[in-house]
Amino acid sequence: MSRMVHTASSRHARAVLVMLMIIAADFAEEQRAIYLVLVEGDPVAFCEDAAHHKDGKRTDPNSEASKFHAKHLVDSHNQILGSTLELGSYNKLYSFKHIVNGFAVHTTPSQAKKLKSAQGVKLVEKDRGAKLMTTYSPQYLGLPVGVWTKGGGGDHNGGEGVVIGIIDTGIDPRHPSFAYDPMKPFTLSNNSRFMSGGCEVGPQFPRGSCNGKIVSARYFSAGAQAVASLNASVDFLSPFDAVGHGSHVASTAAGNSGVPVVMNGFLYGMASGMAPRAGIAVYKAIYPTVATLADVVSAIDQATQDGVDILTLSIGPDEPPEDTISFLSVFEIFMLFAQRAGTFVIQAAGNHGPEPSSVVSFSPWAVGVAACRTDRRFPGSLILGNGTRVKGIGLSGPTFGKGLFQFKLVLAKDAVKINGSFPRTPEYVEECQHPEALNPVVVQGSIVICTFSAGFYNQTSTVTAIIDTAKALGFMGFAFVANPTYGDFLAQPIPFSVPGIMIPKIADVQILSEYYEQHTQRRQGRAIYKGRASIGEGRVASFHGRAPIVSRFSARGPNIVDANRNLADILKPDVLALGDQVWAAWSPISILDPILEGNTFALLSGTSMAAPHVSGIAALIKQYNPSWTPSIIASAISTTASKYDNFGEIILAEGSQVASVYPSTPFDFGAGLINPTLALDPGLVFSSDFKEYISFLCSFPDINATTIKSMTGASCNNTYAYPTDLNVPSITISALSGSRLVRRTVKNVERKPETYSCSVLQPEGVEVYVYPSTFRITPESTQDLQIKLKVTKVLDSFSFGQIVFTGSLNHIVRIHLSVLPVSVL
């Protein structure tokens, strides 16, 4: 440019400069964002012509041919960017080359628009960001729920030889759940797809962190760094987990067995992952400050290249894509190709339940997991001076004397300093957020009642602050109670480091209030406290009542095909697993949840917690049946799941009202509660692979063949009559007129021939016939089935049924029918 200034007339030079400045100003004014771009041409893993297949089935990413091809793709990405966009207007973040050919670029909307019409570009999608699928942050109230991971996990060898990849907030390598015993080295199954990981070191993640249990660890931060300025004291640029979430998910799937769960000196029990001998490959893509889909999909690309057997996504986009088909967003496409490469992909179904169609797991090539709670409760109690016990929640020890001694009961409002110079807001007066507001002489050694009010309502007040106040002023204990103005609140057990209890139901609070008022006299602004109370042991679990119950937050079907909420005839969620109050590993630094700081375990709730239960079980299945493909494993888990609870009734689901429940349907629980033991030996399986997924996509009237070709590279030359013909272990029809013939194919994965007979639980308003209704099937062979569904009565909502295949060797194979009969003809 300086040469230009010299050679041009000064006037011309000024014009050039002004123009450059205007362009620069334009870039500055327009808000940059990340765009995910898919490009024509085969990625490395699916490149037809390169003869670089190891064992005849997998592409070796380290071969010369693969490296050459990868370099060629990167060059082509740079070429597209360089020839389409203004210099200085963009920053390429990633080239994707293994399972998808494309890139992520940080640029302005106007530049992104240019990319859309650039030669070779198939799709440009704005990064929607990514979210953790955990619902209640312990920092607020409603935390988690869940479940003790013991029991499900098989033996001590569960998952040996299998590698589970986890895309999340990283991992705490010092946690005992991830310790490695060199005396008991893992062997990698020669059927595992895992080839080679990497071990990226950095802050809090020193060399040696990949210890053999953690087989690989990487982090992806280009997207996060492009959209936010990261804070080095929270957003560690290493695989280290400063949040706790990634460690929680990893330990649920594959944490070591028999790890003691100790908090505040109390032993809650022993923790174990579902597949305690599986290897863990860590892909950190979520940061406390920000999370982008660019980092997440880059992690999917790398995990697939590394060859993880199972990939767990307890994260995902928060909302359906705005302007694309649900199945064809960039995120879904990466999962499709990961599945095509042989990786079993499991995702959290989402936490926006119980609204209908709230699932954010859409595609048949990934398993979407719904969450439920068990019958475990942690009952807490406040024992009043007259002997009455008020029920509550809180993982805390009892007050001094284990509940035998009673202490002065003081309502915070009555103990507020008369002439203190602090604002008379609810935070100071009622919520115990500020120690300077309370009269220390009155509250010391007392049980102080702190009340839910505007600060909690606005989520600015925290239970942590109550505990800090309690410690600062020497409360004997605290009771955090609901307020009639706001109604009941949702509370989940949190470990308290001082005796405390939450009383979230107004009806329970009323007993306490009445007792307190009867025993408190107020004179000239001073109160005389005659009420007494103690707090009982709250850390011991009890098991009673119906279980499982689908959690309120767990996202519901029916599945949708686009942002207009048109229904998709594919069942979501897929299956139900424990995801409510799950104990698992935590990172003591606990950046986002100060109340859990210093803890090495946490109880959390969310479909995030349910997904890794399925991952661990998938690892067990893969260990016993190493040749099974992802869709065979998915089928085995689904057809052996149960829709019944421990009372033998249909599983209940929590509704939108506090404490309301209703009998659930496949739109709440998918195939039902997973049963690891049965899933090892399902008898028959329904499987589909890439070609079938293409036929499925092609059969949607609203999805255009050109779009499918450009997104997946595949042609629509074998279109199903209806999407319902995809060979999945369920049948879902959102508008059935007259009758429809649905096709399925089952395969016998048992080592012996078996004769099956089929029975149908007819959905209301629909007659179902299965041909043939009995058949004999030899090992490894398949049987085609025709299933005719005929409307007999029009209904205005879905009705549900089941087809059950009972085998002569006692296999029972179930598939759910969900049908909306709209007309008889």
Ligand X SMILES: *[C@@H]1O[C@H](CO)[C@@H](O)[C@H](O)[C@H]1NC(C)=O
The full length of the chain comes to 825
- Which one from 77, 98, 175, 245 is the annotated catalytic residue? 245
User: Among 386, 755, 778, 792, which residue interacts with ligand X (rule: CB under 6 A)?
Assistant: 386
Identify which range of 152-160, 514-522, 677-685, 759-767 contacts ligand X by CB under 6 A.
514-522
Closer to ligand X by Cβ: residue 78 or 196: 196
- Which one from 76, 247, 329, 608 is the annotated catalytic residue? 608
Minimum CB–partner distance for residue 457 and ligand X (Å): 5
Closer to ligand X by Cβ: residue 704 or 823: 704
Closer to ligand X by Cβ: residue 151 or 484: 484
Minimum CB–partner distance for residue 529 and ligand X (Å): 15
Determine, following the binding rule CB under 6 A, whether residue 627 of this chain makes contact with ligand X.
no
Which parts of 437-456 interact with ligand X (CB under 6 A)? 454
Closest CA to 480 of 510, 503, 508: 503
Closer to ligand X by Cβ: residue 91 or 388: 388
User: Among 27, 46, 457, 775, which residue interacts with ligand X (rule: CB under 6 A)?
Assistant: 457
Burial-class residue 270 by CB neighbours within 10 Å (0-12, 13-18, 19+).
Answer: middle
The amino acid occupying position 653 is A
User: Among 421, 706, 797, 810, which residue interacts with ligand X (rule: CB under 6 A)?
Assistant: 706
Closest CA to 297 of 634, 38, 33, 562: 38
Burial-class residue 180 by CB neighbours within 10 Å (0-12, 13-18, 19+).
Answer: middle
Distances (CA, A) of 123 to 36, 120, 332, 439, 708: 8, 9, 13, 64, 11
**Strands 730-737, 601-604: pairing kind:** unpaired
Identify which range of 495-503, 612-620, 715-723, 743-751 contacts ligand X by CB under 6 A.
715-723
Closest CA to 243 of 167, 171, 176, 351: 171
245 is an active site residue? yes
User: Among 264, 707, 757, 783, which residue interacts with ligand X (rule: CB under 6 A)?
Assistant: 707
Residues 48, 246: Cα–Cα separation, whole Å: 36
Q: Rounded to the nearest 5 degrees, what angle is found at the Cα of 787, between the Cα atoms of 785 and 789?
A: 175
Which parts of 129-158 interact with ligand X (CB under 6 A)? none
Minimum CB–partner distance for residue 232 and ligand X (Å): 8
Minimum CB–partner distance for residue 24 and ligand X (Å): 27
Minimum CB–partner distance for residue 486 and ligand X (Å): 7
Minimum CB–partner distance for residue 741 and ligand X (Å): 22
Closer to ligand X by Cβ: residue 642 or 707: 707
Determine, following the binding rule CB under 6 A, whether residue 704 of this chain makes contact with ligand X.
yes
Minimum CB–partner distance for residue 164 and ligand X (Å): 20
Write the interaction track for ligand X spanning residues 664-693; mark x where CB under 6 A is met and - where it is not.
---------------------------x--
Determine, following the binding rule CB under 6 A, whether residue 56 of this chain makes contact with ligand X.
no
Identify which range of 99-107, 111-119, 713-721, 739-747 contacts ligand X by CB under 6 A.
713-721
Closer to ligand X by Cβ: residue 2 or 190: 190
Closer to ligand X by Cβ: residue 13 or 511: 511
Closer to ligand X by Cβ: residue 425 or 629: 425
Q: Two tokens at 17?
A: 């400069």
Minimum CB–partner distance for residue 508 and ligand X (Å): 11
User: Among 62, 110, 518, 774, which residue interacts with ligand X (rule: CB under 6 A)?
Assistant: 518
Which parts of 579-598 interact with ligand X (CB under 6 A)? none
Write the DSSP string, 97-127: -SSS-EEEEEE-HHHHHHHHTSTTEEEEEE-
Minimum CB–partner distance for residue 287 and ligand X (Å): 12
Residues 249, 170: Cα–Cα separation, whole Å: 10
The amino acid occupying position 686 is F
Q: How would you list the strands of the sheet with 121-126, edge to edge? A: 90-96, 102-107, 33-39, 121-126
Find out whether 678 and 640 touch, Cβ atoms under 8 Å. Answer: yes
- Which one from 127, 168, 235, 562 is the annotated catalytic residue? 168
Determine, following the binding rule CB under 6 A, whether residue 384 of this chain makes contact with ligand X.
yes
User: Among 514, 649, 702, 780, which residue interacts with ligand X (rule: CB under 6 A)?
Assistant: 514
106 is an active site residue? no
Write the interaction track for ligand X spanning residues 220-259; mark x where CB under 6 A is met and - where it is not.
-----------x-xx-------------------------
Q: Rounded to the nearest 5 degrees, what angle is found at the Cα of 543, between the Cα atoms of 540 and 545?
A: 140
Minimum CB–partner distance for residue 407 and ligand X (Å): 16
Closer to ligand X by Cβ: residue 58 or 67: 58
The amino acid occupying position 506 is I
Residues 225, 22: Cα–Cα separation, whole Å: 26
Query: Under the phi-then-psi rule, with left for phi > 0, alpha for psi from -120 to 50, and beta for the rest, what region is 364?
Result: alpha
Residue 648 neighbours by CB under 8 Å, 6+ apart: none
168 is an active site residue? yes
Burial-class residue 43 by CB neighbours within 10 Å (0-12, 13-18, 19+).
Answer: buried
Longest dimension (CA), the chain: 98
**What is the sign, positive or negative, of the torsion defined by CA atoms of 640, 641, 647, 650?**
negative
Identify which range of 29-37, 107-115, 547-555, 714-722 contacts ligand X by CB under 6 A.
714-722
Backbone angles phi, psi at 410, to 5 degrees: -130, 125
Residue 162 neighbours by CB under 8 Å, 6+ apart: 189, 192, 275, 278, 279, 309, 310, 619, 622, 623
Closer to ligand X by Cβ: residue 266 or 690: 690
Residues 265, 792: Cα–Cα separation, whole Å: 63
Closer to ligand X by Cβ: residue 123 or 341: 123
Q: Two tokens at 283?
A: 């892909």
Q: Residue 247 is inside which H or E element, if any?
A: helix 245-254
Number of H helices and number of E strands within the chain?
Answer: 19, 42
Determine, following the binding rule CB under 6 A, whether residue 46 of this chain makes contact with ligand X.
no
Write the interaction track for ligand X spanning residues 648-667; mark x where CB under 6 A is met and - where it is not.
--------------------
User: Among 62, 78, 196, 458, which residue interacts with ligand X (rule: CB under 6 A)?
Assistant: 458
User: Among 56, 182, 265, 387, which residue interacts with ligand X (rule: CB under 6 A)?
Assistant: 387
Closest CA to 341 of 367, 364, 309, 314: 309
Q: What number of chain residues touch ligand X (CB under 6 A)? A: 24
Find out whether 330 and 362 touch, Cβ atoms under 8 Å. Answer: no
Minimum CB–partner distance for residue 717 and ligand X (Å): 4
Q: Is the peptide bond before 573 cis (omega within 30 degrees of 0)?
A: yes
Find out whether 157 and 184 touch, Cβ atoms under 8 Å. Answer: no
Minimum CB–partner distance for residue 381 and ligand X (Å): 14
Minimum CB–partner distance for residue 453 and ligand X (Å): 7
User: Among 9, 31, 717, 797, which residue interacts with ligand X (rule: CB under 6 A)?
Assistant: 717
User: Among 419, 564, 656, 797, which residue interacts with ligand X (rule: CB under 6 A)?
Assistant: 419
Identify which range of 130-138, 144-152, 435-443, 507-515 contacts ligand X by CB under 6 A.
507-515
Write the interaction track for ligand X spanning residues 294-333; mark x where CB under 6 A is met and - where it is not.
----------------------------------------
Write the interaction track for ligand X spanning residues 158-197; mark x where CB under 6 A is met and - where it is not.
--------------------------------x-------
Residue 495 neighbours by CB under 8 Å, 6+ apart: 263, 264, 395, 396, 539, 596, 599, 603
Active site residues: 168, 245, 608
Which residues of this chain interact with ligand X, rule CB under 6 A?
A: 190, 231, 233-234, 384, 386-388, 418-419, 454, 457-458, 511, 514-515, 518, 691, 704, 706-707, 715, 717-718
